[in-house]
Amino acid sequence: MSDLSPLGFVGFGAMASRMGHNLVAAGYQIAAYTPSGKGGDGSVRFLPTPRALAADSGTVIACVPDDEALAASMYGDDGALAGMKPGALLINTSSVSPEASLHLAAAAQARGIIALDAPVSGSTPEAEAGTLVVLVGGGAADVARAQPIFDVIGKATLHAGPSGSGSKLKLIVNGIMGAGLAAVAEGVTYGLAAGLDRDLLFNALDSVAVISPHHKRKLKAAHVGDFSPQFPTRLMQKDMRLLMTDAARTEAALPTMAATTQLLSLTRRLHPDDDYSSLFAVLESTVANTP
């Protein structure tokens, strides 16, 4: 146990509630704020505003879906920053733009608050098992201070560099993940169009080493048409959009990931709340006479 308890979660959805469960099991006290006042299994105390939550917490952990939600919960009279004491720690596990992370770090520093951008790699199964990989941007001493928390929610911590670096690394990881899935789904589409048996095709791809364990999990789900959300399409497409925006700013050429972003934009329009592996269903639907 460290000196970072109690913990306040801003956002308590599928990922945060699983991280919170593991932190409680490790001995931490937690509370939460969400706009709806709901989340998790009902066992966690909710406070009415981010400011009230922050004032009641030694450390704040933000886990919100996008830049807009982060801004709404962090800034202003009722924002978390207004309730945090100088010297307090803010851990932002949200997948947001590097620009949003840098802005938050600067705003926190102006108040004497320590902010880390610490998005995580992994979906709900890894969050439940406590085997996430934490990708951190910030000062080394501040990362060390947060390490006891990271050790509970994850199996590894990667210190990517100064503020904003964790967010950049997260976009790279998710960009590769999205492009990899698109390649597998396109391979399935070709196989079906070329007349291969569907079961044989999915089973064959599940047996070869060129497909990652993550993508094999998605392949198995797509085989049986199970697109229950471990990572909703709307969030994956958002991360790809953030990657494209920052890549354009840095003049990095990412043509494969750009094409994947377009495929995921179509998939988001059709399956926003399903798992992003519903891209398989979208591409399968383009093959004539596919069952």
- pLDDT score for 101: 98
Share of the chain above pLDDT 90, in %: 95
- Residue-range domains of the chain with CATH: 7-161 (3.40.50.720), 168-284 (1.10.1040.10)
Q: Work out the number of other CB atoms within 10 angstroms of the CB of residue 262.
A: 13
- pLDDT score for 137: 98
Q: Which helix (H) or strand (E) holds 57?
A: none
Give pLDDT tens digits for 138-187: 999 999 999 999 999 999 999 999 999 999 999 999 999 999 999 999 99
Question: In degrees, to the nearest 5, what angle opens at C-alpha 118 toward C-alphas 128 and 56?
Answer: 80
Q: Around 28, how many Cα atoms within 13 Å sit in the side-chain half-sphere?
A: 29
Q: In whole angstroms, give the CA distance from residue 68 to residue 80.
A: 14
Residue 135 has pLDDT above 70, yes or no: yes
Q: Which of 168, 170, 218, 238 is catalytic?
A: 170
Q: Contact, 10 vs 33, CB < 8 A? A: yes
Give pLDDT tens digits for 27-86: 999 999 999 998 988 899 999 999 999 999 999 999 999 999 999 999 999 999 999 999
Report the length, in residues, of the chain: 291
Structure tokens at 237: 């497409």
Q: At what angle do helices 14-25 and 140-153 cross, to 10 degrees?
A: 90
Instruction: For residue 168, indicate whether it is catalytic.
Output: no
Give me the mean pLDDT over the 217-242 stretch: 97
Overall pTM surpassing 0.85 (yes/no) = yes
